[in-house]
Structure 1
Amino acid sequence: MTLWFVFALMTVAAIFAVLWPLGRRARAQSQGSEGQGSEGQDSEGQDTENRGSEVAVYKDQLTEIERDLGAGLIAAPEAEAARVEISRRLLAAAAHEPAPVPKSSLKWRRAAAVLALVGLPLVAIGVYMPLGSPKLQDFPLAQRGSGSGMARSLETLVVQVEQHLEKNPTDGRGWNVLGPVLERLGRFDDAARAYRNSLTYNGESAERRANLGEALSAAAGGVVTAEAKTEFERARALDADDPKANYFLGLAAEQDGRKDDAATIWRALLAKAPADAPWRPVVQSALARVGGSGGALPALPDETITASRDMSEGDRGAMVRGMVERLAMRLKQNGDDVEGWLRLVRAYLVMGDRDKAMGASTDARQAIANDAERLRQLNEGLKTLGLDG
């Protein structure tokens, strides 16, 4: 009830702001009319009349000078000097002459008053009813600046592309652009439809088949369904080394309970992967999850492995701890290595030291806080290790 009372006060204030100048103008004009119609005019009215007569006199003098100059009654230099002086006086008199005040029509003032009294509330209600609600929650300023602009730009792009594709449904390039954007917005069913149309109008490719499988899996809540698995198998048939297809086929094996098969697929994928592949940490984390080594500990040279066979269990553990400490020291000096941070976190987890693993994950996030892509890779890898908090 208080909110509606405040709205009513705001409406009254807006109406008053419109009517107040109209009322003042009307009073001022009526007072001016009465003053001009009275028999005894004041000194200001007399001054105005005098200035008006001065202007007329100066104009007549200029005309007379031109007439005398034409008749030869005055020399040209004298005529020019008189013309300059009279023109100066004319300008001074004209500058003080008041401009005529337009008379406002009473009919239009009444119409404006009625519009303010009736129109303003109606317009306010008409705008508020479809758009506003007193029950809506607030939208903090911090949330307005974080990602909202990008979301709106993506939604605008989607609308534009969809409108284009309604008129040109065979535009394969348009479907190719639309699919990833829809997937990023969480519209996985629509993304799958876009990928199917992309396959129809662009032709077969491992990438398009893998993208379709990923959209189908995302629509199923991360489960690699039979339909999605078929798409990944088709992608691998087109390109045996396609990383997305192999990763999800390994994930399908893991979800089916075949962890050994999943580990085999992921090990083969890592063996062929470039050292700087952006998805490498994700696959390594998945491999560690199913019991594979996944690079949990720093890689050991062949001679070190040979020497460790003759070590006692305690010496071997000390050697591993030393390698982990050296890895931690290296990452403190160069914190850009996402894969190194994930190896360190996994090493601490394997050694049973979860507190150090949590500390390393915090240090890693701080080290790459200014690199959005690396931070995303790190968070994905930590999530697979159960440290997504």
Structure 2
Amino acid sequence: MMIWAAIAAMTGASIFAILRALSQVGHTGPDNSPDIALFRGQLAMIDDEALRGDLTANEAEASRAEISRRLLALTRRPQKHADGMSRLSSLMRRRVAASLALIVLPVFSLTFYVISGQPRLAGKPMQLTSGAELENQNVERLVQRVEQQLAQHPESVEGWDLLARVQAQLGRPDLAAEALGQAIVRGGATIDRLIALSEAQIALSGGIVTGDARQTLERAASVSPHDPRVDFFLALGLRQDGRHDDAIVKLGSALAKSLPDAAWLPLVRDQLARLLLDDLGADVPQSLNPADVISALRLSISAAATTPGHDVVAWRRRLLAHMVLNGIDGLDSLVEEGRAALADNRAALAEFDAFVAQLVHRS
């Protein structure tokens, strides 16, 4: 009887999850998200293994449920309906789907188990497996599956892209770089592949931007000159080379090119704020959290001279600090203020204009 209680509980949980999802209005994020592609690849792998008999029906269903849960959590986003008619139509569709879930899912599952399972077989103690171990097993199976497919179809660009993402996720930058190289040869040097390759090369060297990584980044810059990720990684290399001022400019450029809601924006602001504080002579511990770094920069800028006068270096620092603290809003008026202050010094004005062009140039 315990098995039937477990089946009932699992069915109820599945139905509850479906009804909960259907009761919320939402839409998914971009279909070309790397994480979404990874989960879909795992689902396809589970289907293939179930058809071959490598997985039992229960194992396949459990794996699908877990991956589907993660995919649903990843792609769910809040969204408003356009009008009352669309809300009504969506409500009707959800009710129909809920009814099917309540009726069809239990009947189908029970029938399938009675026909294909072994309900009279004596129960055996189940080996406990942690969620992390199960996830690692699923990812390793995905790697094996993708590698088998690529051995048969090496021209599959999507397969090489997927393999590269999984190997990077597993902390294998050397294998990720090899897969990305194959993807670039067969599918072209896109900005995302070049950025991923540079990250793998940097990871391989323990965080050092080597010559190979720099060449990859320069190639990425030629493909997409206005991608802020290129400037960020180049700034990392410049800082490692001791080129402090050039690193500041590159980080400022990355900040100017980033969208206001970009995921990497807080990291860029933090790194640029630390460099500016160092430039101002402030001692900033590496353990200081980003919020305190920003506060320290605000205090340092307030304590400095409010009017840089004819000092082009001070104007450069003021522009960068403004971008860290306020974004690009109001930057144009600050640029004009600086140009007016430096108007009497043609050399300083030319240097300032070149700096601004390098910092905020857009196509």
Whose Rg is larger?
1
Smaller-chain TM-score bracket: 0.3 to 0.5
User: TM-score, normalization: structure 2?
Assistant: 0.42
Q: Relative contact order (alpha carbons < 8 A, sep ≥ 6): 1 or 2 greater?
A: 2
TM-score (norm 1): 0.39
